[in-house]
Amino acid sequence: MKQIKFLSAIILIVSAFALTSCERDEADTELPIITVGEPADDDVLYIGSEVHFEIDFSDDTELKSYKVDIHSNFDGHDHKSVNTEDSVEFSFQKSWSFEAGQKNAHIHHHEIEIPEEIDGKSISQGDYHFMIYCTDAAGNESWTAVSVKIMKSQDAESPSFTSIVSPAVNQEFANGQTITLSGTVSDNEHLDGLFIAIMPENATNEQVNPTESLAVMLHEHEAVYEQQYNFTASIQVGQAQDNNTTPKTVTWTPGKYYIVVKSPDESGNIGFSEHYPIIIK
């Protein structure tokens, strides 16, 4: 009997060791993949503007988080920075988490801003590294670096809007009806995107973003790169998700709202259209 118990214990130990070895052999060692859209190598990021961030992440098992680290690279190139005693180098670090179980993610946001100044000093212009890191659930980390320039734009003219065709003032829209707005946006140099949103009645232009809007009617970057762009945006009252690049669920609460068009140019200037009041029934 003792011998049988001894043999059983040996078998359990061997089985546990084999199982542990098997799990070790099957451990996730594959690095997540980072595919950079924007910013790209040699892009210029303008002081006082938002950064157009558009990246694809993927992993064979599960993504966990990504991080952005921006720091100066003034001593890494032959280029000279416009650096003075009255300026300070810009730096930025922030991490974001993915949803649990997510293997693929297309991330598009404008959460990174380059301020006009830090502690009363202007931002040093010149070469910077834009580092992107990604970690998966197993702890594997990959990274990529983009070389950019941070500069102060000499262009102070914002995009403007013409030929706007909008709903009548305070036009009412019931469930199932379509809201449409069209027009033309122009810039003296170079457009860099278009954002059309339905905003709560008392919202300010500073709140015109995907989070604080009722619904995004149109969010376009790929096509808006010239000096002029003709646009049409529509959304149906009651549809489950809006038309943002990454759609969000819409809660269609009755009330007073307005439609607004927002367009940045490549120099960081932002143009806003008039507010076009509507009523959701």
Predicted confidence (pLDDT) per residue in 165-187, tens digit: 999 999 999 999 999 999 999 99
> pLDDT class for 4, splitting at 50, 70, 90?
low
Same fold flag, 33-151 and 160-280: yes
* Whether the predicted pLDDT of 257 surpasses 80: yes
> pLDDT class for 78, splitting at 50, 70, 90?
very low
With contact defined as beta carbons under 8 Å apart, do 186 and 231 qualify? no
With contact defined as beta carbons under 8 Å apart, do 72 and 90 qualify? yes
Token pair recorded at residue 233: 């945006």
Phi-psi region of 163 (alpha: psi -120 to 50; beta: other; left: phi over 0): left
Q: How many CB atoms lie within 10 A of CB 82?
A: 14
pLDDT of residue 154: 87
Bridge partner list, 216: 197
Look at the domain 160-280 and name its fold: Immunoglobulin-like (2.60.40)
> pLDDT class for 10, splitting at 50, 70, 90?
low
* Whether the predicted pLDDT of 197 surpasses 60: yes
Nearest to 92 by CA among 39, 42, 139: 39
Q: State the Cα torsion 165-166-169-174 to the nearest 10°.
A: 140
* Whether the predicted pLDDT of 23 surpasses 60: no
DSSP annotation string for 165-180? E-PPTTEEE-TT-EEE
Nearest to 235 by CA among 255, 259, 253: 259
pLDDT of residue 275: 98
Mean pLDDT of the chain: 89
With contact defined as beta carbons under 8 Å apart, do 90 and 119 qualify? no
Q: Which amino acid is located at 202 in the chain?
A: N
* pLDDT (tens digit per residue) in 111-151: 999 998 999 999 999 999 999 999 999 999 999 999 999 99
Look at the domain 33-151 and name its fold: Immunoglobulin-like (2.60.40)
State what percent of residues in the chain have pLDDT above 70: 87
Q: How do the domains of the chain map onto residue ranges?
A: 33-151, 160-280
| Ranges 3-12, 30-39, 148-157: which has the least confidence | 3-12
Q: Which amino acid is located at 131 in the chain?
A: M
> pLDDT class for 49, splitting at 50, 70, 90?
confident
pLDDT of residue 127: 95
The span from the CA of 138 to the CA of 136, in Å, is 5
> pLDDT class for 15, splitting at 50, 70, 90?
low
The H or E element spanning position 5 is helix 2-25
The span from the CA of 237 to the CA of 119, in Å, is 46
* pLDDT (tens digit per residue) in 223-232: 888 899 999 9
* Whether the predicted pLDDT of 18 surpasses 80: no
| Ranges 23-37, 131-145, 254-268: which has the least confidence | 23-37
> pLDDT class for 246, splitting at 50, 70, 90?
confident
**Beta-strand pair 63-72/126-136:** antiparallel
Nearest to 199 by CA among 221, 174, 179: 179
Length of the chain: 281
**Range 198-203, long-range pairs (CB < 8 A, 24+ positions):** 198/235, 198/257, 198/258, 198/259, 198/278, 199/257, 199/258, 199/259, 199/260, 199/275, 200/255, 200/256, 200/257, 201/255, 201/256, 201/257, 201/258, 201/277, 203/258
* pLDDT (tens digit per residue) in 199-242: 999 999 999 999 999 999 999 988 888 899 999 999 999 999 99
